[in-house]
A and B are shown apart, each in its own frame.
Chain A
């Protein structure tokens, strides 16, 4: 069964450093997303991406965040200068069509710890 994959599974970084989280969405999906989940809290939307551009972003997704689809298979989330409060699980998701018509499927997540 096709699935979303994410690397790395864990990332530890120093405050102020740049991190890149990587995702490989399901191959025939066209819509891509990043969400985050602070420990013990609900999953929060960060950004949606379609046709090589951002469709929607949340207040969390400020100028320190960027997304890219560098090739036909990868989808990345970059945090330019990490802050302590960026520590969270980051989930990538993909869907075949718009989220109000098709289910989003989630990857296993990357646990980011900023020290």
Chain B
């Protein structure tokens, strides 16, 4: 069945450090994965995506890594800033819908 899970519910890092948020998925046929950021009281905001034919994709200060062998996805945020504080969700895209994980709350300490 479809399920997308996250390894940790909370992550606290020092401002300026790098953050790594992990996600495990169960459907080996999944082809497309997305990371969303959700700030308090707002909707999910697209950060970065990756397809199954790729292992790594980089954006501005963010990198997504995909390990299909162990069905693991990670989001790396470089030089975290206070504005990075949010809940981060990985999502697995099916033919007609997204399946979201539980989310990791990232807190940036000054």
CB <8 Å contact, B100 and A106 = no
Question: What CA separation (Å) do A41 and B100 show in the bound complex?
Answer: 10
Decide if A65 is an interface residue (CB 8 Å cutoff). Answer: no
Interface residues of A in 41-92 (CB under 8 A from B): 41-45, 48, 55-56, 58, 91
Decide if B25 is an interface residue (CB 8 Å cutoff). Answer: no
Interface of A is mostly: loop
CB <8 Å contact, B42 and A109 = yes
Q: Which of B34, B41, B103 contacts A103 (CB 8 A)?
A: B34
CB <8 Å contact, A100 and B93 = yes
Decide if B18 is an interface residue (CB 8 Å cutoff). Answer: no
Q: Which of A44, A100, A107 contacts B43 (CB 8 A)?
A: A107
Closest A residue to B6 by beta carbon equals A42
CB <8 Å contact, A33 and B97 = yes
Using A42-B101, A56-B96 as known contacts, list a sample of 10 further A-B pairs with CB atoms less than 8 Å apart, ordered by residue number in A: A42-B103, A43-B44, A48-B96, A56-B97, A99-B32, A100-B31, A100-B94, A103-B34, A106-B44, A109-B43
List residues of chain B with CB under 8 Å of any chain A CB: 31-32, 34, 36, 41-46, 49, 89, 91, 93-103
Can you name 25 A-B residue pairings with CB atoms under 8 Å?
Answer: A4-B43, A35-B98, A41-B102, A42-B101, A43-B91, A43-B98, A43-B100, A45-B98, A58-B97, A93-B98, A98-B95, A99-B95, A99-B97, A100-B32, A100-B94, A101-B32, A103-B46, A103-B49, A104-B46, A106-B36, A106-B43, A106-B45, A106-B46, A107-B43, A109-B43
List residues of chain A with CB under 8 Å of any chain B CB: 4, 33, 35, 41-45, 48, 55-56, 58, 91, 93, 98-101, 103-109
